[in-house]
Amino acid sequence: MGKQTFLDNIKNHNAVIGIVGLGYVGLPLLIEFSRAGFKTVGFDTDKSKGDFLRAGKSYLKHIPSENIKNLTESGKFEFCSDFVRAKDCDAIIICVPTPLTKQREPDMTYIVKSGEAIAPYIKKGQLISLESTSYPGTTDEVLKPILEKGGLKAGIDFYLAFSPEREDPNNPNFSTSTIPKVVGGFNEDSADIACAVYDTVICKTVRVSSNATAEATKLMENIFRCINIALVNELKIVFDKMGIDIWEVINAAKTKPFGFMPFYPGPGLGGHCIPIDPFYLTWKAREFDYPTKFIELAGEINTSMPRYVIRKTLRAMNQRKKVLNGSRALLVGLAYKKNIDDIRESPSFKLWDLLEENGAIVDFYDPYCPEVKDTRHYPKYAHKKSILDIKNIAAYDVVIIATDHDCIDYEFIRTNASLIIDTRNAIKPSTNVIKA
């Protein structure tokens, strides 16, 4: 397929769009292409997702089942757990995880396996776009050689692009289609084609000069957040020693109409991006013999927050002539942020682990996460179930607010729990509330 034919097919919505990885990034993107009238193919090795989709049900709490029902009833969607149908797609967009190894180095497993799965079915005139966050050079240095193994060349026989995902699940102000999208390409034609594809479903595409520039853009966005969160986490500790409430300080500071952007402290970083992405750049920077001290220091501060919370918990219990060993503890909130069911990299798991390390008997309560899914770092908690409600909260020696879901009755917690460790400023001041 020539470039103009591809552009015509996109303009007329005759192209077939394939999405590899139907998680928090891939599924919303697939829904947008389907809404725009394109035929779509969703690829995921997790066959249970196909069962949900074919039944018109959502497996992500923030995506209504009605959206899935509309997708399946359109008659233009197909789910595949293998990649044979990749040959029938005009554009294939890869949305797979990019975690860290135990040594905190980039784990390219999912990108490599996706590339290897697609490679046998690549055809001339096809677009392959990677959305998985990674270090500058990943698309051209890692993915491209895999895709070219069959003899077709990127930029000549097929188009190759990188366009970083910018998902923020359950954000009330922005959705997949209303967030501007950065797009880079291996060459001019690749960028032209990728922009044309994304322009059909995204409010605005922001074209940059290369795939590496697009990759660097995403890292910069998340490193910016990581460093600023580390700053307020450090200030939280300092101000606490001075008897100053960090949340009151932030609320006062953000009244300045210029030169300040509020960030908020917490029990640690969570989600698939901010705790991980900065270390992709620190790893790549070593290749250029440059230490990224600022980024690494921010990572150290943020990863130390769960231990700070537990130290505050131990101190508060000691002041009440109690010990954590043998006590009953309730973690309120397992998701990494409010009002979603995403538990990836959630600091709640580290809190849970540290509580048990100190001898506590731990339960958790999270209406968004009734059962713990499999996790990479804490498999021992898989399939543990949330308590059904908090009516018996007085039975716990300590309650730790780790995630401030809006649906939780914090006034009930305040008036019935004996000791509350509030890491999210969710509960108004009281003699039984300790901010941490």
Active site residues: 273
Write down the pLDDT at residue 48: 94
Write out the DSSP string of 223-279: HHHHHHHHHHHHHHHHHHHTT--HHHHHHHHTTSSSS-------SS--SSSTTTHHH
Taking a C-beta distance cutoff of 8 angstroms, is the pair 433, 331 a contact?
Answer: no
- pLDDT tens digits, residue range 73-88? 888 999 999 999 999 9
| 8 Å CB contact between 105 and 283 | yes
Spans of the chain below 70 pLDDT: none
Structure token digits, residue 394: 């007085």
Which domains, ranges and CATH numbers included, belong to the chain?
3-209 (3.40.50.720), 246-272+304-435 (3.40.50.720)
Q: What is the pLDDT of residue 367?
A: 96
Cβ neighbours of 301 (radius 10 Å): 21
DSSP 165-194: ----TT-SS--GGGS-EEEEESSHHHHHHH
CA distance 185 to 419: 55
Provide the 10 A C-beta neighbour count for residue 252.
9
* Token reading at 319: 């002041």
**Which secondary structure element, helix H or strand E, spans residue 159, and what is its range?**
strand 159-162
Residue pLDDT, tens place only, 271-311: 888 889 899 999 999 999 999 999 999 999 999 999 999 99
pLDDT at site 274? 85
Contacts of 210 (CB under 8 A, 6+ apart): 184, 185, 186
